[in-house]
Amino acid sequence: MTEHTLTVAGVAVDTRHWIGGERVASAETFTDVSPIDGSVLGEISRGTEAEAAAAVAAAKAAFPAWAATPVAERARLLHAIADGVEKRIEDLAIVETTDNGALLRSHRRGVMPRVAHNFRFFADWLLTLEHEDFETRGHTNHVSWDPAGPSVLITPWNAPLMLSTWKVAPALAAGNTVVLKPAEWTPLTASLLADIAAEAGLPAGVLNVVQGYGSEIGDALTSHPDVRRISFTGSVPTAKRITRSAADNLTPLSLELGGKSPLLVFADADLDLAVDLAVEQYDNAGQVCLAATRILVEESVAEEFTRRFAEKAAAIVQGDPRDEATDIGPNIHERQLEKIDGFVRRALDAGARAVVGGHRGEGQYYAPTLLTDVAQDSEIVQEEVFGPVLTLQTFTTEDEAVHLANDTRFGLAATLATGDRDRAARVTERLVAGTVWVNCFFVRDLQAPFGGSRHSGVGREGGTWSFDFYCDLKNTVTAPKGWKDHG
């Protein structure tokens, strides 16, 4: 091992940036800490404006050749990266669990296989990307997707590698070069991804990884005139700063932001299913942007729903995420834990009642919590907590349910439990959300559009929508005459 390598459960991880096909160290570092037990994992190179500029320069230099690479070769390299991910699923799983505290069993069985699928899906979609030619007064219209240029991708800590590759894969498939900036609380698997991509044969400069604090290098990346696309997943305040930073260059943005999603439970629903859906919202210690944290229950079944919910929530096993028996692990950081606890304490002081939880556990664990007696205009109902905290409100009519569901500044997702198909159709049509699940939750297909409405985001990615964002669409109109016969 070298001074720039740390070891996580036997897996070596380089702590330096990956720029232009080389490892680059910074003069200063930041400390990476595991949320599981607070142990220090190592010191990570702390990027400055200089490293940000170098990464963009490397992406710009690599862009012409990568953009000109035939689509079949681009697709082959993306499949090779997927092969590399699959060979290292165990390494990636244990490193990410240690770094962000999510369940090891989920990383092994679902998340890391999904990382590989991200690359395979967009590689295959690239090969089928086309729009049928059409005629205008005898002229032929041909639509094409041209690579846009260097892309800055800024990703969150709650599902670091999966959400990074959800952006990296389509950007690379589109023919763009990439500067990936992972969250400073979870930088390790992005470094491993750089190794995997290099081993797969991805040319130098096509993928670059710069680590550090967004407050220190974010503006240098997002305001750079050579950056042609910015995709960000994170908070609304940070998104506003990025938008201002990108404005001078009119750099196109894709923003996937926060949520305060509702779960509507009607009296005609399968109540056991509805309870299962509600308890599922504690997944990943509540650190899921799509989570339906506002449970809205028809008044006639609210008491029975609450009783069953409390019973099921009591069976949740919270603890070390490396243990197969654990259902939810720790929250990511002491700062986040204080934020969660502050939300709950203020809600309790304002008259809310904790049916379940309502307090911190040991270390960086927060007890799964359900609060009732909350007002619609209260902070706990209106603002994203991003922890294992749910609220429960009741309604008496369909109109009231829809009003409560839509009455926040967010619009990322919504979940609906009902046994009436006609009601499902009526209600889903009226909900403001980028994704609506009916009698299910978190069923996602990469070919579907994904994004949020209102303050939950700008734009959609997934399938062709990803290529629409990462490319410059061009329509070529060809006249039927004016040709010379060179035969």
Catalytically active residues are 256, 289
The alpha carbon of residue 234 and the mean position of all alpha carbons in its chain are separated, in whole angstroms, by 8
Do 422 and 431 contact (CB within 8 A), yes or no? no
* Burial class for 470, CB neighbours closer than 10 Å (0-12, 13-18, 19+): buried
CB atoms within 10 A of CB 307: 12
Do 276 and 470 contact (CB within 8 A), yes or no? no
Distance CA(197)–CA(182), nearest Å, equals: 16
The two beta strands, 369-372 and 389-395, are parallel
CA triplet 231, 96, 262: central angle to 5 degrees? 60
Tell which residue, 379, 406, 409, has the closest CA to residue 391.
379
Q: Residues 6 or more apart from 352 whose CB is under 8 A from it?
A: 371, 372, 373, 374, 378, 380, 391
Tell which residue, 425, 389, 146, 189, has the closest CA to residue 278.
389
139-147 sheet: strands from edge to edge: 134-136, 139-147, 471-478
Angle between helices 71-87 and 112-128 (to 10 degrees): 170
